[in-house]
Amino acid sequence: MTREEARRSWRASVLLMGAVVVGLVTGCGDTVAPAAVPPSATPTAPSSGAGDDDAPPIATPPNGTVVSILFERGRLARKSDQVEVGRGSTVLLAVSTDVADDIHLHGYERVAPTDPGGRAVLEFTADRSGVYTAELERSGVRLLEVTVS
């Protein structure tokens, strides 16, 4: 997948998630309670800078987890560098950053481009047990480990 294709796919995912959020807020369609987010996946509140405060919130998919990660000024702001998810669940890694790079989930070989001051979302189905590392590919910065069990 080229960088442009990944960017288009990401934009389509963001638009779809926004439509789902609008539908839930306005009462359109069936209401589904979001899956519980484990304590280790609690989103880190963004500080000034790469936090992309204008971005819409990310809806937690049914049977899923959203993990928010903030990387700015060469540092990660996080409570934990590990997250555990159930096999078969949908996982969204939402990375806000002040650098242009690519989020790479090793083992799943999924990649999502990041833009300075924006938020990139890498979505995958945790269909293989094991421990997988997500990193900013060009910078070589390890974002976190995802344990699928």
Output the pLDDT for position 41: 41
Query: pLDDT by residue (tens digit) across 77-97?
Result: 876 789 999 999 999 999 999
Task: Report the predicted TM-score, pTM, of the whole model to 2 decimal places.
Answer: 0.62
> Residue 106 has which token pair?
């090793």
1 vs 53: CA distance, rounded Å: 29
Output the pLDDT for position 42: 37
Output the pLDDT for position 59: 78
Asked whether the beta carbons of 67 and 120 are under 8 A apart, the reply is: no
Complete edge-to-edge strand list for the sheet that includes strand 130-136: 82-85, 141-148, 130-136, 101-105, 110-114
Phi/psi of residue 55, each to 5°?
Answer: -70, 140
Please identify which residue in the block is written with the tokens 């996080």: 78
Which CATH number goes with the domain that contains 103?
A: 2.60.40.420
Query: pLDDT by residue (tens digit) across 57-74?
Result: 787 777 889 999 999 998
Q: Which of 54 and 95 is assigned the larger pLDDT? A: 95
Count of domains forming the chain = 1
Q: Which of 13-17, 122-126, 142-146 has the lowest mean pLDDT?
A: 13-17
Residue 105 lies in domain? 3-148
The angle subtended at Cα 140 by Cα 137 and Cα 7, nearest 5°, is 20
